[in-house]
Amino acid sequence: MQLDPVVTPHIFQPNGAWRPASEIAQAVAAKKISALAVTEAALARIAEHDPVLNAFTDVTADRARATAKALDAAIASGQSVGPLAGVPFAVKNLFDVTGLPTRAGSRINRDRPASTRDATLVERMEAAGAILVGALNMGEYAYDFTGENFHDGPSRNPHDVTRMTGGSSGGSGGAVGGSLVPLALGSDTNGSIRVPSSFCGIFGLKPTYGRLSRARSFPFVASFDHLGPFARSVEDLALSYDAMQGPDAEDAACSTRAIEPVTALLGQDIGSLRIAAAGGYFRKNLFPEAQEAVARVTKALGVTRDFELPEVARARSAAYVISTVEGASLHLDRLRTRPNDFDPAVRDRLLAGAMVPAPLVDRAQKFRRWYRAKVLELFKEVDVIIAPATPCIAPKLGQATFVLDGVELPVRANIGIHTQPISFIGLPVVAVPVPLDPMPIGVQIIAAPWREDIALRVAYALERAGVVAAPSAKGF
């Protein structure tokens, strides 16, 4: 559809990317544009580009229009509206959305009854004025780093549609990277927010474990499951994060901490922060692009030293073991009754996970306690750790191996090697995009537990310095 030339400049930048959520919300609240016009712009973008990107599995157009009209009516009657007024967003299809079965990337879950209530985070985003426009493609049951879905087809990278989005929140990465929507939500168990952020050239926040409620989302690994936002700027990331914070008795792991808003803190000086680069393990198995991305970030931040985290390879191994076992436990009945309805590759990983002897899992959880204590000790000496988000730019769709330092390695198993040891102990991370040409790649800004504010401030400083940015995808 043809957008109104008067409203378009309030919604999109000249390069076609979305304007910042805060600007859209201000324009909506000031009645310069209607929430309905913004919603129609998002729906038009989705209709035009999703046939190629395959980011969406459901477009909730009727609901979105109804929500937008209600918001416009509230504004017309003089009511105050939230900081995301009229801003479209979409969610990975493991979030409950009223009226949809929560498929979690699977064929099996399509037989579940339709959800009768939205996930907590969807409710909180809409309470802040955001408008849900749909549910997004993902790797089956989130056991994935590629964004390739066996049942729904692969989500495609907007910077090169022959490449992966990364997973498992692949549709979230593609939808924001391709400017179909300015904001999306996803989940991260071992890297599933940070990997698509890296491959699709956008910002992603994996908060501290327990910070954001997971109520009414489909789980994967209870020990490591996190939910969080994707955006095209740090401020948008912070705005959505702030809108979603707060205790929730319906998620047993959700912290009772009070809301700690970060948006107003973004511009604080970072000169006093002690920042180090992760050395050793995190300097290995990197393609030149990943090395370049880390180098640009550390140079901009004046980082002069590497910092060694202890036993990182073992931490990654323990995360791997706990993931496969908790995943297998979750799906045990489905493995018994509907094994042929899984993606065969996911099924076989889960079947193997069901066979790991229990003492090895207990030892992995004990190692996790040890590793956590050691890393927390290190945070007495540093405030921020810089590490690569992925070893490479987005691989080609279907690519099974890559050659690194002369050694052929499996792609799927190695995409998350730098993210897994961090989510293993629930540290907050902002994935920031370094706009290399032709493909962007991300870097992790890691902080101590509950210090999302610090990671976001560093990300904001890098963004203002022009070192990191979400590049506009040509043709989208």
Partner 1 sequence: MAEPLDDYIDAVAGALGLPIEDAWKPSVRANLAVTLKMAKMVDEFPLPDETEPASIYAA
Q: Which residues bind partner 1 (CB under 8 A)?
A: 210, 222-223, 252-253, 311, 313-314, 317-318, 320-321, 324, 332, 335-336, 339, 344-345, 347-349, 351-356, 360-370, 372, 413, 425
Q: How many other C-beta atoms lie within 10 A of the C-beta of residue 303?
A: 19
Q: How far is the CB of 356 from partner 1 (least distance, A)?
A: 6
Catalytic residue among 172, 192, 233, 255: 192
Nearer to partner 1, 80 or 256 (CB): 256
- 272 as an active site residue: the answer is no
Nearest to 219 by CA among 94, 92, 100: 94
Catalytic residue among 168, 169, 233, 472: 168
3-state secondary structure 395-409: CECCCCEEEECCEEE
Q: How far is the CB of 446 from partner 1 (least distance, A)?
A: 18
Nearest to 17 by CA among 158, 180, 170: 180
How far apart CA 204 and CA 176 sit, in angstroms, is: 10
Q: Which residues contact 175 (CB under 8 A, 6 or more apart)?
A: 53, 55, 56, 90, 136, 181, 184
Nearer to partner 1, 61 or 335 (CB): 335
Q: How far is the CB of 208 from partner 1 (least distance, A)?
A: 13
Nearest to 134 by CA among 53, 31, 215: 53
How far apart CA 213 and CA 152 sit, in angstroms, is: 27
> Among all chains, which residue has been given the structure tokens 């990191």?
468
Do 269 and 398 contact (CB within 8 A), yes or no? Answer: no
Nearest to 40 by CA among 6, 9, 85, 8: 8
Nearer to partner 1, 6 or 413 (CB): 413
Q: How far is the CB of 185 from partner 1 (least distance, A)?
A: 22
Nearest to 426 by CA among 282, 254, 273: 254
> Which burial class, exposed, middle or buried, applies to 379 when counting CB atoms under 10 A from its CB (0-12, 13-18, 19+)?
middle
- 80 as an active site residue: the answer is no
Q: Which residues contact 103 (CB under 8 A, 6 or more apart)?
A: 57, 93, 94, 109, 110, 112, 135
- 92 as an active site residue: the answer is yes
Nearer to partner 1, 250 or 348 (CB): 348
Catalytic residue among 92, 155, 187, 198: 92
Q: How far is the CB of 29 from partner 1 (least distance, A)?
A: 40
Nearer to partner 1, 34 or 324 (CB): 324
Q: How far is the CB of 350 from partner 1 (least distance, A)?
A: 9
Nearer to partner 1, 273 or 335 (CB): 335
Nearest to 58 by CA among 196, 167, 152: 152
How far apart CA 154 and CA 147 sit, in angstroms, is: 6
Q: How far is the CB of 345 from partner 1 (least distance, A)?
A: 7
Nearer to partner 1, 354 or 378 (CB): 354
Residues with catalytic function: 92, 168, 192
